[in-house]
Amino acid sequence: MIPVKGFEGKQVAIFGLGRSGLSAARALKAGGAEPILWDDKPSNLLPATKEGFTVENLKNADWSQFAALVLSPGVPLTHPAPHWTVDLAHAAHVPVMGDIELFARTLACLPAHKRPRTVAITGTNGKSTTTALIGHILKNAGKDVHVGGNIGVGVLDLPDMHAGAIYVIETSSYQLDLTLSFSPDVSVLMNITPDHLDRHGGMAGYIKAKRRIFMAQSSKQTAVIGADDDYTSAIISDMRVNSPVKLVSISARRTLGHGVYALNGVLYDGTSLRARQVIDLKVVRTLTGRHNWQNAAAAYSACKALGLEMDEIVAGMRTFPGLAHRMQEIGRIGNVRFINDSKATNADAARQAMSSFDKFYWIAGGVPKAGGIDDLRDLFDRVKHAYLIGDAAELFEVTIGKAAPCTQSRLLFTAVAQAYAEAEKTGREEIVLFSPACASFDQFTDFEARGDAFRDAVSEIKIGVTGEKV
């Protein structure tokens, strides 16, 4: 745990008692603050009460006594409308923040010679893989590295800060909206495509939230930004003129005049006078596909900014095991390979997986995002058969139309069994791709539970066929 500094002897309101809320309460208490907790769901109050925290209805609290409101990232800050706690905080001139800001303030309280270095990663897609890849490269190079934030361990649940350490932190747009002073040594913005627009009031608000990752950076710090979409390209152009940070552009589509880029899977460092080949990513099984080439370009740039040599970075890439639930090959049954891409919770994320295979049997569905899968029409000719699950089954069948055969499987196990039975008949090497392009909340608690269910389904079928698990 990281005891939060800067709030010693002060009351701090905390609303939203999920994982991040309770984590913040523990960290604030450990640092000497007096957290006051509340949640609109009575069932969420019991764990806080059992841990001995002060639980008080914040509607009746004296807000003039609070030094801050710590808001769970799942609670609306501005849209569709500010949560009532936000309105009360603003009326009392109480700053509203999240766990990343608590981390940042604790870091700022340390003397310079005791501060660890920080890397923060965001983007609509690819941020989790890039975060995991950076962490793996640093660890493989013998660095004292801690990975968390929006991936795995909450940022305040990481080991206490100390000199020589490197904290690699995945940050979502919700978390960035709640930051005020976060200033990572290296920031990474992978890409921007429309997502979470209801929570940010539209595309402009979403972009503004993502840009907050650079907000407090200085000329001694580095920003790594993808150049492969119009939104991030515009940010690069603006920051070249108006930002003091060291800027590194990355691409997985074209040569950059000064940047890091991947052409046909070969990664190049073009930041000096003469571009150097770094690694042929096509030989790294866990980094296949253009989306992973962008992830690798970002990870290379971030690790280089932290002082690693090219050979150290390449060694880490070659041994990267991949990220669970993201283009993860979980096994095969005979001639059929099964790919778990449960983390693809929107169409753009699914595009990255679908673009990696010429032909495949596709399992998709869940709670559809705005726009559904309309943007994937150019890839439907790669689908040999679509097996559709969850709330989106009927909508997706209408969208796919006659471009590919469809079956409304409804349940994930049914879809896996049907896809395997059809793929196995061909006698050729086949791919069953589980890339839902949807949120998971109709049938599962999160994408991880959904991915685990896919693995379990494949394993159960394999036991029936071969007697072995995947």
CATH number at residue 23: 3.40.50.720
Torsion of CA 208, 210, 211, 216, to 10 degrees: 120
- Domain limit, last residue, from 257, 283, 318: 318
Is residue 334 domain-shared with residue 286, that is, in the same domain?
Answer: no
Residue 16 to residue 57: CA distance in whole angstroms: 12
H-type alpha helices, 341-391: 347-354
pLDDT at 356: 87
Q: Domain for residue 3, yes or no?
A: no
- Domain limit, last residue, from 77, 97, 117: 97
Predicted confidence pLDDT, tens digits, the chain (470 residues): 999 999 999 999 999 998 899 999 999 999 999 999 999 999 999 999 999 999 999 999 999 999 999 999 989 999 999 999 999 999 999 999 999 999 999 999 999 999 999 999 999 989 999 999 999 999 999 999 999 998 889 999 999 999 999 999 999 999 999 999 999 999 999 999 988 889 999 999 999 999 999 999 999 999 999 999 999 999 999 999 999 999 999 999 999 989 999 999 999 999 998 999 999 999 998 898 898 999 999 999 999 999 999 999 999 999 999 888 988 889 999 999 999 999 999 998 899 899 989 999 999 999 999 889 999 999 999 999 999 999 999 999 999 999 999 999 999 999 999 999 999 999 999 999 999 999 999 999 999 999 999 999 999 999 999 999 88
Pair of tokens at residue 126: 């690819």
Q: Domain for residue 422, yes or no?
A: yes
Contact 179, 122 (CB under 8 A): no
**Collapsed DSSP state (helix, strand, coil) of residue 68:** strand
Is residue 163 domain-shared with residue 72, that is, in the same domain?
Answer: no
Containing H/E element for 226? strand 222-226
Q: Domain for residue 5, yes or no?
A: no
Tally of domains in the chain: 3
Comparing CA positions, the residue from 215, 216, 217, 237 lying closest to residue 225 is 237
Is residue 230 domain-shared with residue 363, that is, in the same domain?
Answer: no
Type of residue found at 381: D
pLDDT at 19: 85
Angle (nearest 5°) at CA 235 between 234 and 237: 65
Is residue 302 domain-shared with residue 336, that is, in the same domain?
Answer: no
Pair of tokens at residue 445: 């608690």
- pLDDT tens-digit series, residues 382-426: 999 999 999 999 999 999 999 999 999 999 999 999 999 999 999
Q: Domain for residue 225, yes or no?
A: yes
- pLDDT tens-digit series, residues 163-195: 999 999 999 999 999 999 999 999 999 999 988
- Tell me, what DSSP letter sits at residue 443? T
Q: Domain for residue 253, yes or no?
A: yes
Residue 110 to residue 149: CA distance in whole angstroms: 20
Looking up tokens 């409308």 gives: 81
Pair of tokens at residue 454: 């896919």
- Domain limit, last residue, from 97, 125, 156: 97
Global pTM reads 0.85
Give the DSSP letter string of 234-251. HHHHHHHHH--SEEEEEE
Q: Domain for residue 283, yes or no?
A: yes
Residue 171 to residue 310: CA distance in whole angstroms: 26
- pLDDT tens-digit series, residues 123-178: 998 999 999 999 999 999 999 999 999 888 999 999 999 999 999 999 999 999 99
Is residue 84 domain-shared with residue 107, that is, in the same domain?
Answer: no
**Which residue range forms the structural domain that includes residue 70?**
11-97
* Tally of CB atoms within 10 A around 164: 10
pLDDT at 43: 92
Is residue 358 domain-shared with residue 236, that is, in the same domain?
Answer: no
Is residue 240 domain-shared with residue 109, that is, in the same domain?
Answer: yes
pLDDT at 81: 96
pLDDT at 18: 87
Is residue 342 domain-shared with residue 405, that is, in the same domain?
Answer: yes
Pair of tokens at residue 294: 């962008």
Residue 391 to residue 389: CA distance in whole angstroms: 7
Distances (CA, A) of 353 to 360, 433, 437, 439, 444: 11, 8, 10, 16, 21
Residue 349 to residue 123: CA distance in whole angstroms: 11
- Residues 6 or more apart whose Cβ sits within 8 Å of residue 307: none
CATH code of residue 131: 3.40.1190.10
Is residue 73 domain-shared with residue 121, that is, in the same domain?
Answer: no
Is residue 287 domain-shared with residue 426, that is, in the same domain?
Answer: no
Is residue 42 domain-shared with residue 138, that is, in the same domain?
Answer: no
* Tally of CB atoms within 10 A around 67: 17
Is residue 143 domain-shared with residue 183, that is, in the same domain?
Answer: yes
